[in-house]
Structure 1
Amino acid sequence: MTIETTTTASALPLVETAGATYQRLELPARIQASYTTRFVACAVEADRAGFHLAAGPTVTPKAGDVVVARVTEILNHKRVETPESRKAILFPGALIMLAYGHRYAADQFLAHVPDSLEPCHLVAAGGVAGMVTEQHLSVDDPTRIEPLGLLADDLGIVNLTRFAPYALNPVPSLGAAAELVGALPGRPTVIGVLGTSMNSGKSTAMATLVNGLTNAGLKVSAGKSTGTGAGNDPMIYRDGGAAKVLDFTDFGYPTTFRLDFEEVRSLTVNVIDALSGTDTDVVVVEIADGVYQGETARLLRDPLFHAVVDRIVFAAGDALGAVGGVRELQGAGLDVAAVSGVLTSSPLATAEARAVLSVPVIDTYELAGAAVATALLPQR
């Protein structure tokens, strides 16, 4: 979605809106929206005159705030994902609509939201702006951007949460064990998909599992509750046959890194709850990154997570990772149904894992078989 207006980027006097004082700028004539900003982009397209940019030294971005930025140097990310999940080519000088967010990506970048509209980086192709502080040695430097201003309207700075179709409902607080029995009453079976790290094969394993359950005649919903906003994962869940698909961006989060843990656990339960329709047989939910990543490690030991997730399918990159991951999950008290993922691309690594694991090691694409997939469901 490309948003076009009839005005040029001209500066207007300082204004005060919703208690904040900043320099008001008109929207540029052409802006490429991104996946994370898709709901905001629809609102802008419907009422362009109702929006403007907030700029100047008094403006302090927060995670989820929407920014319009100019691409100044194209390096690692050469494309930005559109609201429709198309990979749009970036050109020098292009204006893109992103959301500020913190990012944790062991194979790419560690990034945070800067405290001003200083030049920063495109830290995720799904449409996340931030300041990179660490990066993997194998990746190029991040694509550089120059923020023009935060998107604003008469209510103030626009944050993704304001236009998101879903909002967080209250969940039992930490330590409220007595309330956990009633968490998501009447919910369908819930399968969690976790992995050793990024690129361990979680999303592909999840999509094939969704496909296998669908092939068995079950109605499956699929979602992702943590990670960095990107359209690829929801798209492949749909390809697998999921009847309903959601992720954390539907709740207004560009990423989940550095959220308060209460918010992470609430988001996970709310994603599962939103996917649990009365006619849903199984919900499959992906948890991003690896089991040692901060919020994931805490989530695995949270009683509320245990109360709403029945079994785990674990994706690993190699045999040692599979063994260590399964032990970690079982040590946390979780029921591991099977191991899959990149590991199963290698017959030798698969054999090594099978020799020492007490749970099945299943080739990723065998999960698409109805009998294989349904065998992983808990016996109720």
Structure 2
Amino acid sequence: MMKSRIKIGMVCHGIRPMELISIDELEPNFTLKAGDVGLFMVTEIGKNKMIQTVSRSATLIPGDLIMGAFGNRYATNQFEGYIPDDLKGEFHMLGGAGVIGEVKSMHQRLDEIGPTKVELVGLYTDERGQISNTISQKEQKLIPFTGDLAKRTKVVLSLGSAMDSGKTTTAAFLINGLTKKGHTAAYIKLTGTAYPKDANLAFDLGACEAIDFSRYGYPSTYLVSEEKLLSLYETLLRDVLKKRPDYVIIEIADGILQRETKMLLKNPKFMSSIHQVVFSAGDSLSAVNGVQTLKSWGIQATALAGLFTASPLLVQEVRECLDENNDHSYLPILNLEQLSMGEFPDYLRTMQLLSA
């Protein structure tokens, strides 16, 4: 087996495995943890036809050897998957960066193709002889949450009604507009499943720094504790503040009802560190109901954006509904062109005048 031919998933970046051990060599009571690193053989190609390495996307074919890390995933338009209890049998690629687990459910559109299937060849050990783990090798670098760092910039949350509602694109075009207005803006993806596409888009559109949770070894943030999420937020914020950005755009994956997203939004200490909230939605009903749900949690959206803004009729529906409630009559609806032209800071000034 040639080590040079192993395709290493991005989630394992920086891992220096010492030895590969088989399942039979493990302790009888061994239990997998998020971040445990293994060598896998691809047995069947499904949804993931490539694996994202540090430098590029590498094509997969049956028989390929890949290095990946076990993790959980919550993705309403793709897979729900978990770290397996049994090390034997068939596993699945939950994410293109090399996140491995067992699929519990999937979106109906994936029923025919299914996930890419893999078999575990063995687990890697580290220099201490322990199972190599992406999280344990980096989480000691996390700092406790205080909320103080957010006072050095303006933190803007990019939230969405659901997966693929447009929040990533909103965040990136917001950054583009801010840079055109002479501001500096950094991007952080705080929750989700490891993959570089979102951070890359933000960087391409002008972010002075664009990073995500995988920097500290997390294959995903699904089922991570609230305390760890807050520490991750503080640490990632510390990292981007080295660039001294005027704004930091934080994207939280999936919709506002998802576990980690809802957990953060209902945390008073986290929300007290947030300057503004931009809410993206896929249609008019989710836009209106999303604003109302956030308000019921004590959160006032600053602007609406997302996929629905591509349709003038949907925008009209939302505006008519919001105008019926004087509390939301001022709420701006920004399409991608308006975000990219830098209109968001102008609305911030308007909001401040209205609240003065």
Seen in structure 2, the aligned counterparts of structure 1 residues 278 and 30 have a Cα distance that, compared at 3 Å, is closer
- The 2-side partners of 1:209 and 1:278 are apart by 18
- Residue 212 of structure 1 deviates from its aligned partner by 0.5
Quick one: which of 58, 75, 89 aligns to 2:46?
75
Secondary structure, counterpart of 2:261 in structure 1: helix
- Residue 271 of structure 1 deviates from its aligned partner by 2.2
Structure 2 matches for 1:102-113, cutoff 5 A? 102-113=72-83
- Kept in 2, the 8 Å contact 1:202–1:314? The answer is yes
Quick one: which of 143, 156, 166 aligns to 1:169?
143
Secondary structure, counterpart of 1:209 in structure 2: helix
- The 2-side partners of 1:185 and 1:249 are apart by 21
TM norm structure 2: 0.89
- The 2-side partners of 1:241 and 1:374 are apart by 19
Quick one: which of 360, 372, 377 aligns to 2:332?
360
Report what 1:128 is aligned to: 99
Report what 1:328 is aligned to: 293
Report what 2:307 is aligned to: 342
Report what 2:117 is aligned to: 144
- Kept in 2, the 8 Å contact 1:192–1:312? The answer is yes
Backbone CA RMSD of aligned residues? 2.1
Give the AA of the match of 2:65.
Answer: L
Seen in structure 2, the aligned counterparts of structure 1 residues 373 and 33 have a Cα distance that, compared at 3 Å, is farther
Seen in structure 2, the aligned counterparts of structure 1 residues 186 and 62 have a Cα distance that, compared at 3 Å, is same
- Kept in 1, the 8 Å contact 2:209–2:243? The answer is no
TM norm structure 1: 0.83
- Residue 33 of structure 1 deviates from its aligned partner by 1.0
- Residue 317 of structure 1 deviates from its aligned partner by 0.2
Output one character per residue of 1:149-196: Cα deviation in whole Å (capped at 9) or x when no partner.
Answer: 122122121111355498211125xxxxxxx6xx32642000000001
Higher deviation after alignment, 352-361 or 89-98 = 352-361
Seen in structure 2, the aligned counterparts of structure 1 residues 185 and 71 have a Cα distance that, compared at 3 Å, is closer
Seen in structure 2, the aligned counterparts of structure 1 residues 64 and 327 have a Cα distance that, compared at 3 Å, is same
Which structure features the higher share of helix residues? 2
Report what 2:325 is aligned to: none
Secondary structure, counterpart of 2:198 in structure 1: helix
Report what 2:10 is aligned to: 35
- Kept in 1, the 8 Å contact 2:134–2:218? The answer is yes
Give the AA of the match of 2:145.
Answer: V
- The 2-side partners of 1:286 and 1:137 are apart by 26
Report what 2:19 is aligned to: 52
| Aligned sequence identity (%) | 36
Which structure features the higher share of strand residues? 1
Report what 2:223 is aligned to: 258
Structure 2 matches for 1:222-301, cutoff 5 A? 222-277=187-242, 279-301=244-266
- Kept in 1, the 8 Å contact 2:163–2:254? The answer is yes
Alignment coverage as a number of residue pairs: 337
